[in-house]
Amino acid sequence: MANAYQASQAIHVAATLGIADLLEDGPRSTEELAHATHTHAPSLYRLLRALSSVDVFAEYSDGRFGLTPLAEHLRTDAPSSLRAWAMFLGRPHIWSAWAYLLDSVRTGEAAFPKLHGTSSWEYWASRPEEGAIFDAAMTGLSALAAEAIMGSYDFSDIGVLADVGGGQGGLLAAILKANLALRGVLFDQPHVVANAQELLEREGVSERCQIVGGSFFEAVPTGADAYMLKSVILDWDDATATGILAKCRAAMPKGGRLLLVERLVGPPNKPDPAKFSDLNMLVMQEGRVRTTEEFARLYAAAGFRLTGVIETGSPCDIIEGTPV
């Protein structure tokens, strides 16, 4: 377990180089892969040999490498692609912040702003290349969760669904495709939604989706019947999270619904990725992954009542609330 960072970084490098895409049509030699990726062939061999030892890629007796079921997830066009996420996690600005976990545990303060002199959001906004990698990673995660979310929640009685902090619209597009009478509002920072139209058109839902740029610290669009926020509230401390939810409450009709799609911290002593996701929030931006009880308190503070938690079978569940 102490050495696990080595596998993580090796996967990041393979994802960044696009090795799985190059193997889509069959096994290839290290020399071929090195030529295609502009890398040092002996060193690339050592990387792929190591990853093959943990079932990411397969090494054959003739020296070629091929895909495995795990490696399929590193293909860009795979239905369950994690390539963008693996590329994002290994970026130097993320990697270096985790080196200061001890400092965050000692102080209770996020390491990222102290290390880089800015918040993670400002960092990505001011660096388009890094921001694009982050956006792609979030879109990929939303695609993985979309089917589970749609299979667990009935959106058919909602007229207009606003996706607050919805990125480039991947999740909202999937929900709109599955609910032909539904209309959507995609809301995020202007530089984030600037490229959303292309995705919505590609998915055939652009005519039913309004794109709005803005800040949920100031206001969110009015006129929706339900407001959905996926993996947004975990990024913020309780006071800030309550403020975001209060903006949704102010925009929402009396009979509206709040749908948070979030990880929930499970019981003690059980394997739980949410507990490590919570550490990531500690390091990155002083957010937190919460328990059901903690969400209930947030809802009450923002003018909502928690009406239920819908398990989706994915890492995220749907936490439903209504205005009080």
Taking alpha carbons only, the member of 155, 168, 138 closest to residue 231 is 138
At 202, list the tokens. 């590609």
Q: Please tell me the distance from the alpha carbon of residue 263 to that of residue 235, in angstroms, as a whole number.
A: 12
* Bridge partners of residue 201, in order along the sequence: none
Structure-token match 């590329």, residue found: 87
Pick the closest to residue 171 from 259, 285, 236, 266 (CA basis): 259
Report how far residue 259's alpha carbon sits from residue 225's, in angstroms, rounded to the nearest whole number. 11
Q: In what order do the strands lie in the sheet with 209-213?
A: 209-213, 183-188, 160-164, 226-230, 257-262, 317-323, 304-310
Cα–Cα distance measured from residue 204 to residue 201, given in angstroms and rounded to the nearest whole number:
5
pLDDT of residue 53: 97
- DSSP-derived letter for residue 180 is T
C-beta separation of 153 from 132 below 8 A: no
Q: Which CATH superfamily is domain 92-323 in?
A: Vaccinia Virus protein VP39 (3.40.50.150)
Cβ-contact 293, 312 below 8 angstroms: no
Q: Which fold has domain 4-75?
A: Arc Repressor Mutant, subunit A (1.10.10)
The alpha-carbon radius of gyration of the chain (Å, integer) is 21
- Say if residues 24 and 67 touch (Cβ distance below 8 Å): yes
Question: Scanning the structure block, which residue is given the tokens 């032909």?
Answer: 180
Walk along the chain (324 residues) and give the pLDDT tens digit of each residue.
999 999 999 999 999 999 999 999 999 999 999 999 999 999 999 999 999 999 999 999 999 999 999 999 999 999 889 999 999 999 999 999 999 999 999 999 999 999 999 999 999 999 999 999 998 998 888 888 888 999 999 999 999 999 999 999 999 999 999 999 999 999 999 989 998 999 999 999 999 999 999 999 999 999 999 999 999 999 999 999 999 999 999 999 999 999 999 999 999 999 999 999 999 999 999 899 999 999 999 999 999 999 999 999 989 999 999 999
Cβ neighbourhood burial of 275 (10 Å; 0-12, 13-18, 19+) = middle
**Tokens, residue 237:** 């401390």
Contact 272, 259 (CB under 8 A): no
- The pLDDT of residue 318: 97
Q: Domain extents for the chain?
A: 4-75, 92-323
Q: Which residues contact 173 (CB under 8 A, 6 or more apart)?
A: 184, 199, 200, 203, 205, 209
Burial of residue 137 (number of CB atoms within 10 Å: 0-12, 13-18, 19+): buried
List the structure tokens of 309.
């938690």
What pLDDT, on the 0 to 100 scale, is given for residue 195? 86
E strands in 82-205: 160-164, 183-188
pLDDT of residue 79: 85
N-term to C-term CA, the chain: 46
Q: Do 4-75 and 92-323 fold alike per CATH?
A: no
Q: How far is residue 114's CA from residue 91's CA, in Å, rounded to a whole number?
A: 17
Q: How far apart are CA 145 and CA 259, in angstroms?
A: 14
Cβ neighbours for 126, distance < 8 A, ≥ 6 positions apart: 118
